Amino acid sequence: MAALLHLLAALLLLLPSTPEATSSALLGISYGRVGNNLPPATSVPHILASLGVGRVRLYDADPATTRAFANTGVELVVGVPDECLATVSTPAGAASWVRSNIAPALPATKIAFLTVGNEVLTGANSSSLTRYLLPAMQCLHDALAQAGLDKQIAVTTAHNLGVLATSYPPSSAYFRKDLLPTLCPILDFHARAGSPFLVNAYPYFAYAEEPTGVDLEYALLEPGHAGVADPGSGLHYTSMLAAQVDAVYHAIAAANSAAARAVEVRVSETGWPSAGDANETGATPQNAARYNGNVMRLVAQGKGTPLRPATPMRVYMFALFNENMKPGPTSERNYGLFRPDGTPAYELSYRLPQDNTPSSSGGGGITGGGVYNAHGYGSDNGGYYSISAAGKATMGWWRWTQGAVAACVAVLVMAL
């Protein structure tokens, strides 16, 4: 009996652990599902475990998808789709949505944020949806509070950089004047609720729109680039992504100085396409590999931006898979780190820091899919983020080992 117990303990040690997400994880990934050839959601936690990523952004609250992350420790950002905004902008509608879509997943599934809509203020339906955005955020926050969940789950929304009237240099940035009546109360909400201001930031679009005026190395966040000086602030930027984040900080300060002292800016999406149409300059596997690798490097440093050096950048990379049913140019269907069959879209290796495979104690990031996203148009491997053929072979071995060990454990338990 003692020998069996010792063998059982040894086998359990071989089972890989899934990262338990806490606010210490700075890097996450977006998991869009606009495709008819994607792997089942149940396979995604295994992929995340191999990458060492413990935070995921979803674009809806599909029950099967949220259930797939139950008991994994992966921390979710759950989207409230645009088409739900009118419904959840009333107290009764918001309470019903929380009861139907969030409560059943808890506590097995970790949910840290609700993102209400996506790029609502600049999207194709902005004229009809904008009036619902803040009421929906407020009502969902109140519904969570009534359920005793407001300390666990924060409410926010994700904006396109198109909310800025100008972004360069960062110190001159300000919000579009027509959006101020909506954005200023939203900033007040963030300050009161302690939730972050989310922005989908893509240096790729800046380069693609003006390839002769934007240095590719700067857009790709290459560490050897000399950088760009901001004449207004005197700050020096070696990363376009950091410059975009600081432009948002400056715009917040210009619009609402009180909120600027309390609201953190986080990047809810960033990425680079590995393929595009003939006129989509720079959309290549090589550039995608360089950009996404540099994003991971930048975030792994745990540093802030030149304007907010003490606030580490928190970023969700876009995206986990290529999505073959997304409309728009070819680039829209080629943001994935992986193809739907699980093979890498391009070669990419990077060592993630231990603090991105979140194991320290702590809750969600309150203090600290299913829908089309048009972007700019209208660990078991020791901490390695390995997107390569070798990585896929390792994952196959990992899955076989997990199954084999689990089977042996089951037999031993029966013997006991």
Among residues 367, 266, 352, 383, the alpha carbon closest in space to that of 315 is found at 266
Q: What percent of the chain has pLDDT over 90?
A: 68
349 burial (CB, 10 Å; 0-12 / 13-18 / 19+) is middle
Q: Which domains does the chain have, with CATH numbers?
A: 17-379 (3.20.20.80)
Q: Give tens-digit pLDDT for 148-189.
A: 999 999 999 999 999 999 999 999 999 999 999 999 999 999
Confidence of residue 406 (pLDDT cuts 50, 70, 90): very low
pTM of the model: 0.82
Matching residue, tokens 């899955």: 399
The confidence score (pLDDT) of residue 375 equals: 56
Q: Give tens-digit pLDDT for 216-241.
A: 999 999 998 999 999 999 999 999 99
Q: Which two tokens stand for residue 332?
A: 């829209």
Which amino acid is it at 54? G
Q: What percent of the chain has pLDDT over 70?
A: 78
| Rounded distance between C-alpha atoms, residue 285 and residue 154, angstroms | 36
Q: Bridge-partner residues for 164, per DSSP?
A: 175
Contact 158, 119 (CB under 8 A): yes
Contact 40, 62 (CB under 8 A): no
How high is the mean pLDDT of the chain? 83
317 burial (CB, 10 Å; 0-12 / 13-18 / 19+) is buried
Active-site residue set: 119, 269
Residues counted in the chain: 416
| Rounded distance between C-alpha atoms, residue 211 and residue 227, angstroms | 16
Confidence of residue 139 (pLDDT cuts 50, 70, 90): very high
Integer Rg of the chain from CA: 22
| Rounded distance between C-alpha atoms, residue 416 and residue 171, angstroms | 68
